[in-house]
Structure 1
């Protein structure tokens, strides 16, 4: 195998026996670029290892972790083993189009960028496939800047945000700035890495066409956001602010993001109190953060209607339903596995 491939695919895998072949095969099918595929098994209890070991293609390498490190830790193990000039993050249940890597590298090279993102095709559990962002919307973005990126990751404001994009990073840039995934985060570690790279001065080019296919599946830890995960996000954002000096626009976006995460935290607490039929606790939470009550009008309320019946009187009048997105407390910002 070529000792210095142009790109390294990093595939963190945990209980991925049903999807790992699709991911690996799509990586191996890349055209116009030399690649290697580094699969990091995060102590899967199923047949993931056996499936990966069955590949005879020398471009596929398997790393077996001795203990479960989560998505960030598994990806960091992949980064340590990577030999390519570019790092391509691929989730173990997703896939990429054959020309994606070459097209993304060409876009980054032409723009003098160290990072590049592209559009995403979404395959839902049921329903029709859809494009995550309008091509015309992304065509207007020459580069993805830090304030735009942070601003898109404000919870509750849209169905999808730029945090769902799977960037390609120049490996040299990551190493020069000692950038790695935050292993303390159960979710959102990919958001934080891209935000940190942008804060370090990385230029991120935008490829408006879609080359990444995002499969929504049951059982992903990104489907339900828990209180400890929100607390980890808040702690990670606080550390991010300690490590990086943000300009005014980025700081304003960060403040909006922080408020939205605090709202999410109150919302989760409120839902737990409603499930426990704790009227006093629900009232106290609603009093401290009225936004938590407003978010009950989102589709998650359908599942809680019977439990919420005694508390209808504490809902504010005149509020309008909001559309729940996958960055709400019912769903996390990113589809992380590990």
Structure 2
């Protein structure tokens, strides 16, 4: 007798996730209206991650004990290769989902003839502040389908638009296998963005569920809180790989130019910050001169720290008013 394939394969990359893994697995197993399997790809953890995953072996949870540490992309690819479900759902090992999420997303996708479905996220911060949805339900309700152009444009840094790069998609496995689509294992930052963008570029349709069903946890030290130059450079490399494989239409090309410009400005901004940290006058001037727009981004929350660095740099240089403070009105002879 042939075993019936599950509706959902949960793809879970795990690394030193022993403290949070049980909650993530339990939320996957608690899905209603669908059958599930959970595939935990352990990326050579040094804690009890494998033991935690193994304790669920009698509940359709499989552990893939990877032999070498390859990063989240490699772990997810291993899980995708082992998956048997009709749909693939990425679930981070420190997050959780509501019981009816997958049934709701699959129903919306199948009704719309789509190969991808996304929904709203509930943001949960480590400081204990009340949870809040990442996007307004009304805004998502007005956008029943996510296009490649919208997705790319939303992933421009330092912009006021919604960033759909945080979304946790559900993919039709047949579409993923038909196009041999995998996460780029050479990327340690932005591999999620490239994966979804690639699926959209290959013709997948993505429907949007405005209700939040995914609990997205933000912890201290996450990239969403600490943006470094290497992250920007990794994103730029990811875009280079993506553009080398896909041809974009007019709308997507325009959005890509917008995103590329924002990444370059962000890079200039961080080079400026690094120069000020290192008290390099020539480096600061060079960075500011190469992209004056980067100066605007110093109105970010780190402006107070930058102002202190600017003051130290003024003192070091023996200057009084030539170097402006940021986050407020420039202090210069011209006001």
Q: Same fold (TM over 0.5)?
A: yes
The structure 1 residue matched to 2:294, chosen from 279, 292, 295, is: 292
Distance 2:87 2:238 in 1: 26
**Mean Cα displacement is larger for which, 204-213 or 217-226?**
217-226
Q: Which 10-residue stretch deviates more, 49-58 or 128-137? A: 49-58
Structure 1 residues 83 and 34: alpha-carbon distance in aligned structure 2, compared to 1, 3 A threshold = same
Counterpart Cα distance in 2 of 1:229 and 1:254: 18
Q: What pairs up with 1:189-204 in 2 under 5 angstroms?
A: 189-204=191-206
Rg larger for? 2
- 1:12·1:74 contact (CA, 8 Å) conserved in 2? yes
2-structure distance, mates of 1:17, 1:305:
41
- Matching residue of 1:334: none
1:314 to 310, 313, 323: 323
Q: Which residue of 2 aligns with 1:209?
A: 211
Q: 1:2, CA displacement in angstroms? A: 4.9
Query: Secondary structure of 1:225's partner?
Result: coil
Contact 1:10 1:38 in 2 (8 A): yes
Query: Where does the alignment leave 5 or more consecutive residues of structure 2 unmatched?
Result: 315-320, 331-335
**TM-score, length basis structure 2:** 0.91
User: After alignment, is 298-307 or 311-320 more displaced?
Assistant: 311-320
Q: Which shifted more, 306-315 or 47-56?
A: 306-315
| Structure-to-structure mapping, 1:143-154, within 5 angstroms | 143-154=145-156
Q: In 2, Cα distance between the equivalents of 1:189 and 1:45?
A: 24
CA distance in 2, matches of 1:220, 1:318: 24
- How big is the shift at 1:78? 0.7
The DSSP-based 3-state class of the residue aligned with 1:308 is helix
| Distance (Å, rounded) in 2 between the aligned partners of 1:79 and 1:318 | 46
Q: CA deviation at 1:318?
A: 9.7
Question: Partners in 2 of 1:257 and 1:186 — Cα distance?
Answer: 19
Aligned to 2:64: 63
Query: 154-163 vs 82-91, which deviates more?
Result: 154-163
Mapping of 1:1-338 within 5 angstroms? 2-126=3-127, 127-158=129-160, 160-309=162-311, 310=313, 313-315=322-324
User: Do the aligned partners of residues 258 and 243 (structure 1) sit closer, same or farther apart at CA in structure 2, a change above 3 Å counting?
Assistant: same
Q: Assess if the C-alpha contact under 8 Å between 1:120 and 1:214 holds in 2.
A: yes
Deviation at 1:3, TM superposition (A): 5.0
Residues 190, 238 of structure 2: 8 Å contact kept:
no
8 Å Cα contact 2:152/2:256 also seen in 1: yes
Deviation at 1:17, TM superposition (A): 1.4
Shift of the 142–40 alpha-carbon distance from structure 1 to 2, 3 Å rule, reads same
SS of 1:8's partner is strand
Query: Normalised by the size of structure 1, how large is the TM-score?
Result: 0.90
For these two proteins, the number of residue pairs brought into alignment is 321
Give the ranges of 4+ consecutive aligned residues of structure 1 lying more than 6 Å apart after TM superposition: 316-321
Which is further off, 297-306 or 84-93? 297-306
Q: Alignment partner of 1:11: what SS?
A: strand
* Maintained 8 Å contact 2:43/2:69: yes
Counterparts of 2:282 and 2:274 in 1: how far apart (Å)? 12
* Distance change >3 Å, CA 296–CA 227, structure 1 → 2: same
Give the whole-Å Cα distance in 2 for the aligned partners of 1:233 and 1:301.
24
Structure 1: which 5+ residue stretches go unaligned? 322-338
More displaced stretch, 286-295 vs 87-96: 286-295
Once superposed, what is the RMSD of the aligned Cα atoms?
A: 2.0
